[in-house]
Amino acid sequence: MEVTHALQAAAVAALKASPAVTALVAGRVLDRVPDKTAFPYVNLSGFQLIQDDADCIDGAEIFFDVHVWSRTVARTESADIAGAVREVLHKATLLLTDAELTELEHRDTRYMRDPDGVTNHAVVTFRALIEAL
């Protein structure tokens, strides 16, 4: 399995296993978002892999985004969900297929209102360091 797929699968599993996240999004932690998906929900996308080998280690640095979508009047719901996502994944120990996750850290969170004027959007960015087994 390609390492970004393994990382995505592990991150999705961790978010779905979190009572805090599932309570806020009713279990809607998605890869692809179907049409007419109920709000709020979370989806993972935007994976960037940078090869980061050392003399005796095949490694990679991976950045990825967790997108939070909400339609409440205020951005508090999207901020609460983003905070729960950050709590679950920051410094998490996730098991990957054919690789070892040596570090997973929250990098930043950006909040915005979508151009439709209704949807609140948060983008929670993480950085992972991976070593091949």
- What tokens appear for 9 in the block? 């699968």
pLDDT of residue 1: 63
Looking at the structure of the chain, the number of domains it has is 1
C-alpha 64/C-alpha 11 separation (Å) is 10
pLDDT of residue 119: 97
DSSP annotation of 77:
H
8 Å CB contact between 70 and 120: yes
C-alpha 71/C-alpha 89 separation (Å) is 24
Closest CA to 21 of 92, 78, 106, 95: 78
Residue 45, SS3 per DSSP: strand
Residue 89 belongs to a domain with what CATH number?
A: 3.30.2000.10
| Domain span including residue 43 | 3-32+39-132
Q: What is the pLDDT of residues 8-49, one digit of tens each?
A: 999 999 999 999 999 999 999 998 999 999 999 999 999 999
Q: What is the pLDDT of residues 39-94, one digit of tens each?
A: 999 999 999 999 988 777 889 999 999 999 999 988 999 999 999 999 999 999 99
